[in-house]
Amino acid sequence: MAVTVVGSVAFDALETPYGRRHRILGGAATHFSLAASFFTDVRVVGVVGDDFGPEQLAVFDRHGVDTSDLARVDGERSFFWSGRYDAEMQNAETIDTQLNVLATFDPQLSPAARDCSVLFLANMQPDVQRRVREQCPRAFAVGLDSMNYWISSARDSLVEAIRLADVVVLNDAEVRMFTDEPNPAVAVRRIRELGPRVVAVKQGRYGAALFTDDGFFAVPGYPLELVVDPTGAGDAFAGGFFGYLDRHAGAELSDNTLRCAAVYGSVMASFTIESFGSERLAGLTLAEIEARFEDFGRMTRFDGQPAALRSAGG
């Protein structure tokens, strides 16, 4: 069992009310793979420039992530994103985006990368997502993320990519934009009618919602008093989610397994935003992960008492 993730490995420049980082390791595939590495074997497929050096590679190595499908292009630079968060820490203002090596990214996966049990197509051009998906016929679960840019500029292609996915992971603004439907439950139903069995809706500080054949499940956001950098929360959610699925689902995705996956996803997202970039995950222990998973249980449990209503008792 192994997860293959395909997407951006990048440098980020970040500014939040709690500090700045001028050039740190980022990218959707980075945050995903580091989070997933706590659960299963992970192989990252991507492309970087010659500004990506031993220091960045060492981050993946320390987490046991296989980087043999990470291509390095000499004479070019890695994808770069620069963003700023306000005090609310919910939405980033993009200051600069430099595609660089990502502009022509269209990977041919190695046999090992193709032989994955779980495939995650991180946010990228949807035609590329489709071509990657076709290279991995054995995956029992294919996840897909996207963003507003592709919804508006490549909608038809994104529809086709979504048809090939089992689990769509989007935030609530993207769900609304993709379907042009303001009611979240109706919007998700329309996405599921395209083919995916599962839609996981990321809701920022409010947590995440899961829509499956068996119905609706919600996990709240972890009530952190200090959020340092929200970057990568959604990708870390997906990393925990699919990492857990790969380890536990086998070929069938039971509803409880999907629910636990969403909770582990929320656990990984909550740790990621406690520090800049991948800093918090670097020192994270398995005991901390399990303790926070149990926190989510305590945060959501209630035991109904019989005879709650008026007529039932007097």
Contact set with a second copy (CB under 8 A): 37-40, 87-89, 182-186, 189, 203, 205-207, 209, 211, 215-221, 223-227, 244, 247-248, 256-257, 259-260, 262-264, 286, 289-290, 293-294, 297-305, 308-313
C-beta of 115 vs 288, nearer to a second copy: 288
C-beta of 95 vs 299, nearer to a second copy: 299
- Three-state DSSP class for 130? helix
In the complex, least distance from residue 57 CB atom to a second copy, rounded to whole angstroms: 21
- Three-state DSSP class for 230? coil
C-beta of 161 vs 188, nearer to a second copy: 188
C-beta of 78 vs 270, nearer to a second copy: 270
**Closest C-alpha among 259, 269, 221 to residue 35:** 269
C-beta of 14 vs 245, nearer to a second copy: 245
C-beta of 37 vs 146, nearer to a second copy: 37
Q: How far apart are CA 106 and CA 115, in angstroms?
A: 18
Q: How far apart are CA 97 and CA 221, in angstroms?
A: 29
In the complex, least distance from residue 216 CB atom to a second copy, rounded to whole angstroms: 5
Detail the DSSP E strand segments found in the chain. 2-6, 10-16, 19-26, 41-49, 70-73, 79-85, 92-98, 118-121, 141-145, 167-171, 198-202, 208-212, 215-219
In the complex, least distance from residue 175 CB atom to a second copy, rounded to whole angstroms: 12
3-state secondary structure labels for all residues of 11-80 = EEEEEECCEEEEEEEECHHHHHHHHHCCCCEEEEEEEEECCCCHHHHHHHHHCCCECCCEEEECCCCCEE
In the complex, least distance from residue 196 CB atom to a second copy, rounded to whole angstroms: 17
In the complex, least distance from residue 265 CB atom to a second copy, rounded to whole angstroms: 12
C-beta of 55 vs 303, nearer to a second copy: 303
Instruction: DSSP letter for 104, please.
Output: G
> Using alpha carbons only, what angle is made at residue 91 by residues 294 and 298, rounded to the nearest 5 degrees?
15
In the complex, least distance from residue 143 CB atom to a second copy, rounded to whole angstroms: 18
Q: How far apart are CA 107 and CA 131, in angstroms?
A: 9
Q: How far apart are CA 241 and CA 143, in angstroms?
A: 10
Residue 310 one-letter amino acid: R
Q: How far apart are CA 186 and CA 196, in angstroms?
A: 15
C-beta of 109 vs 245, nearer to a second copy: 245
In the complex, least distance from residue 87 CB atom to a second copy, rounded to whole angstroms: 4
Q: In what order do the strands lie in the sheet with 19-26?
A: 19-26, 10-16, 79-85, 92-98
In the complex, least distance from residue 97 CB atom to a second copy, rounded to whole angstroms: 26
Distance (Å) of CA 296 to CA 25, 224, 274: 29, 12, 17
